[in-house]
Amino acid sequence: MAAALTVDCRKTFPGRFTTAAQLTLPLDPPRVLILFGPSGSGKTTLVRCLAGLEWPEEGRIQFGSTTWVDAASNIRLSPQVRRIGYMPQDYALFPTHTVAGNIEYGLSDLPAEARRERVRELIALLQLQGLEQAKPTQLSGGQQQRVALARAIARQPQLLLLDEPLSALDAPTRAKLCGELRTLLKQLAIPAMVVTHDWAEALTLGDVIAVMSVGQILQVGSPQEVFSRPANAEVAQIVGIETVVQGQVVANDNGLATVLVNGTTLKGLGADVSGSAVYVCIRAEDVLLEQVGSGVTSARNHLSGPVTEMLPQGVLMTVTVDCGFPLRAMITRGAREELGLETGSVVVAAIKAGAVHLVSRSG
Amino acid sequence: MNWLAIWVTFKLACLTAGVLLVVGLPIAYWLTFSKWRWKFIVESVVALPLVLPPTVLGFYILVAIGPHSPVGRFYSDVIGHPLPFTFEGLLLASILYSLPFAVQPFAAAFAQVDRRLIETSWTLGVSKLKTFFRLIAPLSTAGLITGAVLSFAHTLGEFGVVLMVGGNIEGETRTVSIDIYDDVQALNYAGAAKTALLLLAVSYGVLLLVYAMNRKVWAVWPQR
């Protein structure tokens, strides 16, 4: 059996729901797994179980050939010996230590010279030059995040656990650091688990996404799979983005990007996009359906194609249009009757450029 | 002024504070971080000297270290003389009597330390003991000094326990507060006044130190 992280455990806090997670993350090649879900869904509890900070009352956690937790035979490996890099929400930098002191905190078993060398490496890697002697309170949010990352990876952990690594930052910093974090995770090639409730972060950082809600893992799959083909209505509601397809940015004119998706050209907002490979994300409620030849609108994208599927959802319907890629639109039943939509009828889907979200793809 | 009594008192207070700094830390650590459900029983025992009349505490300590108890017999067998009415016996009583004055500020300071800092330290491979010395203790300095200083000050002024356990032996167990009592008994009000003033000044100075240290801002008036 190839090395993997296998989790199958239950943890209950009095007065809360039970977090019961089953999960397998192959360790080779190292992947980034996203724990995705609304706040309070048990993501942090699961990460804390993996860090050794919570003890599941049932089940096992196996990392490669090492058993971290086995409730049945009372095995509980302490956090100290798991060789993990854990970054809690809000970073928990040690206020009594400088930036360099924080980074070298876990390296005390190295000889002094090797320790200094490692700190120098990490300072350079995370662009913290000049801040070595600063105290955490003197740093900006983005700098704090980088110090916390440096500290977490200093001991070359075998698993990285990042709990909401970007949520403490303001929006512009977050977008910038999200791209940096992706590059860093690729560069480090350490298996990682990242907790987030932000779909753009999930798509940017993740190789695999596990969707969590009320303590359960509802679906595990590639980002595209989870977003475009949610396993059930609950997952669909949590991810909230009905169309996620891969595309290539062919031009970027002052933030208005032209994207090629399977032969179809789309205009979208791409100010934050780096590189040409992107996920194109469109919410179903942002898509208008029109009859063919009904005139000019302000929408930048008019894509025509046949209706391939219609799913009633209460007073609404989700209509899938094949315009080179499956595009989902949300319309009312009344609109469907007016348009005379049937499976196979050809329609035009209009989407404003602002509703076409582009997320840089990892790897 | 009875300099010998002052010396005995000072020595007793220093030793008590010193021993409590060592003994109180693990107790406070355990009280702060243990998840044991019956923890409150131990908490109550530690706090008992706060409410118990010193004579009652002194009486039990006297019985416990006396020649009729196994502890007392063991001590006199090993050391060669009994524990009551000696400086060592007095020290033991002082430690027990001042225990809450050290343990409670220690525990309060530990409880103030952000749990996530401690947990992050553990995940960085640092043992619980090293985490204590490298992280928890430096973050609790004010509480540690407060506990040590309060137990020092509390020991300076103890009377009931000293009388019960130590008696009143010049150079051995006669402390300042007993000296004042003796002076008053002998109608030597001038002597008592001098010693009392000294004790008042030292106590006040010590409390000034504690409160000044626990201020977050050093400015006399608020900055905002």
CB contact under 8 A, B139 and A51: no
- Reply yes or no on whether the pLDDT at A1 is more than 80: no
Residue A145 is predicted with a pLDDT of 93
Residue A110 contacts B, CB cutoff 8 Å: no
Residue B94 is predicted with a pLDDT of 93
pLDDT > 90 in chain A, percent: 50
Close Cβ partners of A254 (under 8 Å, ≥ 6 residues apart):
none
Q: What are the tens digits of pLDDT across the range A87-140? A: 999 999 999 999 999 999 999 999 999 999 999 999 999 999 999 999 999 999
- Reply yes or no on whether the pLDDT at B173 is more than 90: no
* Rounded Cα–Cα distance for residues A182 and A194 (Å): 11
Residue A362 is predicted with a pLDDT of 57
CB contact under 8 A, B116 and A85: no
Residue A153 is predicted with a pLDDT of 95
Q: What are the residue boundaries of the structural domains of chain A, listed by start?
A: 4-240, 244-360
Chains A, B: CB pairs < 8 Å: 56
Block residue for tokens 């949010």: A141
Residue B206 is predicted with a pLDDT of 87
Q: What are the residue boundaries of the structural domains of chain B, listed by start?
A: 3-54+83-213
Q: What CATH superfamily is the domain A4-240?
A: P-loop containing nucleotide triphosphate hydrolases (3.40.50.300)
* Rounded Cα–Cα distance for residues A230 and A183 (Å): 27
Question: Which string of b and e fits A340-349 if b means at least 16 CB within 10 Å?
Answer: ebeeeeebbb
Which chain A residue has the Cα nearest residue B119? A53
For range B101-124, the mean pLDDT:
95
**Which strands form A32-36's sheet, in the order they lie side by side?**
A75-76, A66-70, A58-63, A4-12, A18-26, A216-221, A208-213, A32-36, A192-196, A159-163, A84-87
Which residue out of A45, A48, A53, A193 would a mutagenesis test of the B interface target, given it has the greatest number of B Cβ atoms within 10 Å? A53
* Rounded Cα–Cα distance for residues A4 and A27 (Å): 5
- Four-way CATH pick for A244-360: 1.10.3470.10, 3.30.420.40, 2.102.10.10, 2.40.50.100: 2.40.50.100
Which residue out of B112, B124, B136 would a mutagenesis test of the A interface target, given it has the greatest number of A Cβ atoms within 10 Å? B124
CB contact under 8 A, B126 and A79: no
CB contact under 8 A, A83 and B125: yes
Residue A132 contacts B, CB cutoff 8 Å: no
- Reply yes or no on whether the pLDDT at A245 is more than 90: no
Structure tokens at A96: 């009594």
- Reply yes or no on whether the pLDDT at A79 is more than 90: yes
Residue whose C-alpha is closest to residue B71's, from B56, B93, B44, B51: B93
For range A314-343, the mean pLDDT:
89
- Reply yes or no on whether the pLDDT at B86 is more than 80: yes
How sure is the predictor about A15, in pLDDT bands with cuts at 50, 70 and 90?
confident
Output DSSP code: residue A89: T
Q: Which of A57-66, B49-58, B79-88 has the lowest mean pLDDT?
A: B79-88
Residue B224 is predicted with a pLDDT of 39
Distance from CA of B43 to the nearest CA of A (A): 24
| Residues from chain B contacting residue A80 (CB–CB below 8 Å) | 122-123, 125-127
Close Cβ partners of A166 (under 8 Å, ≥ 6 residues apart):
A145, A174, A177, A178, A181, A196, A198, A201
- Find out if CATH 1.10.3720.10 is the number for domain B3-54+83-213: yes
* Rounded Cα–Cα distance for residues B47 and A168 (Å): 41
For range B79-107, the mean pLDDT:
90
Q: What are the tens digits of pLDDT across the range A282-321? A: 988 889 998 887 767 778 888 989 999 888 877 888 899 9
- Reply yes or no on whether the pLDDT at B110 is more than 90: yes
For range B52-70, the mean pLDDT:
90
How sure is the predictor about B216, in pLDDT bands with cuts at 50, 70 and 90?
low
Q: Which of A249-253, A346-350, B184-188 has the lowest mean pLDDT?
A: A249-253
Helix (H) or strand (E) holding A347: strand A346-351
- Reply yes or no on whether the pLDDT at B26 is more than 60: yes
CB contact under 8 A, A105 and B124: yes
Q: Which of A224-228, B11-15, B99-103, B107-111 has the lowest mean pLDDT?
A: A224-228
Close Cβ partners of B185 (under 8 Å, ≥ 6 residues apart):
none
Residue B117 contacts A, CB cutoff 8 Å: yes
What is the pairing mode between strands A357-360 and A84-87?
A: unpaired
Q: What is the pTM of this model?
A: 0.83
* Rounded Cα–Cα distance for residues B47 and A357 (Å): 62
CB contact under 8 A, A88 and B122: no
* Rounded Cα–Cα distance for residues A152 and A91 (Å): 10
Show contacts of A223-230: CB within 8 Å, 24+ apart: A223/A34, A223/A279, A224/A279, A226/A36, A227/A199, A227/A203, A227/A281, A228/A326
Residue A311 is predicted with a pLDDT of 85
* Alpha-carbon torsion angle B115, A25, A230, A211, nearest 10: -10
Question: Which string of b and e fits B75-105 if b means at least 16 CB within 10 Å?
Answer: bbeeeeeebbbbbbbbbbbbbbbbbbbbbbb
Helix (H) or strand (E) holding A246: strand A243-253
* End-to-end Cα separation, chain B, in angstroms: 48
For A7, counting Cβ atoms within 10 Å of its Cβ (0-12 exposed, 13-18 middle, 19+ buried), the class is buried
- Cβ atoms of B10 and B202 within 8 Å: the answer is no
Residue A271 is predicted with a pLDDT of 67
How sure is the predictor about B219, in pLDDT bands with cuts at 50, 70 and 90?
very low
Query: What integer best gives the mean pLDDT of chain A?
Result: 89
- Cβ atoms of B175 and B158 within 8 Å: the answer is yes
- Reply yes or no on whether the pLDDT at A275 is more than 50: yes
Distance from CA of B15 to the nearest CA of A (A): 30
